[in-house]
Chains A and B, each alone.
Chain A
Amino acid sequence: MTMLAADPVTDPAEENAAARRRSALVAGLVVCLAALGVVMLLSIGVGARNLSPATVWDALVHGRGGEAELIVRHLRVPRTAAGLLVGAALGLAGALMQALTRNPLADPGLLGVNAGAACAVVCAIAFLRITQPGAYVWFALLGAGVATVAVYLLGSGRGAASPVRLVLAGTAITAVLTGVISAVVLTNSIAFNGFRSWTVGSLQNVTASVVVQVVPFLAVGIVCALASGSALNAMALGDQLATALGARMARIRFLGIVTTTLLCGAATAVAGPITFVGLVVPHTVRAFTGPDNRWILPYSMVVGAILVLTSDVIGRVVLWPSELEVSVVTAVIGAPVFIQIVRRRRLAQL
């Protein structure tokens, strides 16, 4: 996948500038990772129950049973892990999706991931009477997978899937699935209730077992996504090159879609839909990194995780002792920042 040499730079002055730029980007990534570490500590330390840092540390390291251990080990640690994984996965999935379709309106949900997952969850509640959120995970994953396959098959027809057709196919399948969801939830209040809570993405009720279940999917997805930067760059060069490369482009697109589905499907299965991250993080990141996907991908991953974890911590504090769902906070605090960036920066287009 990484065959294409990136920028054939010859001029020494330009080479210098490129090197400076590269070290700036590396430094930026290190800063982001440090920020991520801080947010993770906050996420373990802050919650509805006031615990001193010493108590938290004690409960985390030594256990010793009791209230504090229950809160830190059973509630906050799984939640932090989930936030980290979900944010990273959604950021990556969004970056991939936008690179693949070259459409700024594309979010991972466009492939039918959210609609497929929601449809499966709603049907599980309505027809199989499943009410335990732990059991939603597999339905959500299955629904996301089936919907994406349908979108891909419809979008590719006989030849390779073109971005426009993929987008339209995603729209059509999502519409049909949304129709099914609405029909089920409007004739079954129990399913409606499950649906409306599932549809506001949240980390509140994530348990350790749920996180462990999706880790394999996410791990594969993250590795594949990070490895695809150069290939995506080649794709962005446009049609002449794409035709020259022929079948390889089709394969890259296919792999990209599988990866997106793994990432977004697993993240959605854990937390429910948090669409803002996949849509907005890559746009934001692009304003700093420029169009190079080898940088956009890792940045999107780290910034996505920072955004989700920060939002979750804020959500625990603002309505204390209740909590505000992470998907709401993400959008509300993320949007002003995003719009500010869009207004200030010269935009690197897709």
Chain B
Amino acid sequence: MSNLSSPILQLSFLGTIRLRVVRRSLLVVTLIVLATAALFVVQLLTGTFPIAVSRVWATLTGHGTAVEEFVVYTLRLPRALTAVLAGAALGGSGAVYQSVTRNPLGSPDIIGFTYGASFGAVLSIVVLGSSDVAVTISALAGGLGVALLVYLLSMRGGVQGYRLILVGIGISSVLAALVSYLLLKANIIDAQEAYVWLTGSLNGSTWSDVWIGLVGLAVLGPVLVGLGPGLRLAEMGDQAALGLGVHVGRNRLCALGFGAALCAIAVVCAGPITFISLAAPQIARRLTGTPTVRVIPSMAVGALLLLGSDALAQKLFPQSQLPVGITTLALGGGYLAWLIAREGRSRIG
């Protein structure tokens, strides 16, 4: 770039790069959305309960038997929809956090949200023996309560990013220890139920999960996409790549808040499948070839990753009902490892 002396030339050069990046992003996002749609259909048509393709169509148009309606409407449809919505929410919230903290480990975890939610949920499953709505409410209360606590504890004449992260670490590690402790002291069935929740599961997704995800994404998605350009600007204007030391501006605080809310929605729908918020932005960045993480591609990758993980879990291990979080970890982790390895060979990155 050093031989581009004229500022105008330089600008137009950057513009071309920008255009190319945008075009590639658009193409990648479109392909991912198409793949997600195809997988969605496959998920509706297949499962342990044998239903012919024609019967699925009949059921969807209101002509199915009671059992077929149960399988398609109560089990498969909400499950697939929840996967797409929760995946997109996690991908989006991860992108925001990694962008704001400029740290590939940045996720709503750092403000303690997920640990708070996990603690709330496990406490309610294991100690109170509650389920469903109560678990959801305690998870939400735990997550928001802890996020607020971390925020308040980090305040000292304004919130400093570095302090926020350290306080988050402190609180999160306490909660992580307490969660393991509760799992250990509970009876085995409760403990397994709680562990499945912690892993993140779509077995038992209901329509209420779908509505929560849909409304949340419809409200918060556009806000985050709108905040994107401002965040990227801030990201480029700062040298400290990992320092996290700058004061968190209002714009960033907003982003953190909305990002946490988006993550909360996913946690409520499907449990803390947090690995998606970690992996999706990194995978999307490498697919689209953008220098920084972006919200929309991350959401698309997140949706595909979660739906794909669920499909894989169901098809590979039909007997064992493995929660989706497991395949998410294996698939997302494996893919991320492959991307890193490839980068290592070509010496980009």
User: A residues near B, CB below 8 A?
Assistant: 102-105, 154-159, 163-165, 167-169, 171-176, 178-180, 182-183, 185-187, 189, 192-193, 196-197, 199-200, 275-276, 279-280, 283, 325, 327-328, 330-332, 334-335, 338-339, 342-343, 347, 349
Contact = CB atoms under 8 A, between A and B. Distances in A.
Interface in B311-349: 317, 320, 322-323, 325-330, 332-334, 336-337, 340-341, 343-345, 347, 349
A124 to B, nearest CB: 19
Nearest to B164: A342
A103 B156 CA distance: 23
Contacts of A178: 329, 333
14 contacts: A103-B103, A103-B105, A105-B110, A105-B165, A171-B104, A172-B336, A173-B333, A180-B330, A200-B177, A276-B173, A276-B177, A327-B180, A339-B170, A342-B167
Interface residues of B, number: 62
B169 A279 contact: yes
B345 A104 contact: no
Interface of B: 103-105, 110, 153-154, 156, 160, 162-163, 165-167, 169-171, 173-174, 176-178, 180-181, 183-184, 188, 191-192, 195-196, 199, 241-245, 275, 278-279, 282, 317, 320, 322-323, 325-330, 332-334, 336-337, 340-341, 343-345, 347, 349
Nearest to A272: B180
A104 B317 CA distance: 39
- What's the dominant secondary structure at chain B's contact region? helix
A171 B334 CA distance: 10
A192 B192 contact: yes
Task: Among B170, B275, B317, B334, find the residue whose CB has the most chain A CB atoms closer than 10 A.
Answer: B170
What is the predominant secondary structure among interface residues of chain A facing chain B?
Answer: helix
A349 B245 contact: yes
Contacts of A176: 329-330, 333-334, 337
A347 B341 contact: no
Contact of B323 (A103, A157, A158, A186): A186
Contacts of A105: 103, 105, 110, 165, 169
Contacts of A343: 153-154, 156, 163, 167
Nearest to B155: A343
B332 A342 contact: no
Contact of A165 (B188, B332, B333, B344): B344
Contacts of A196: 180, 183-184, 191, 195
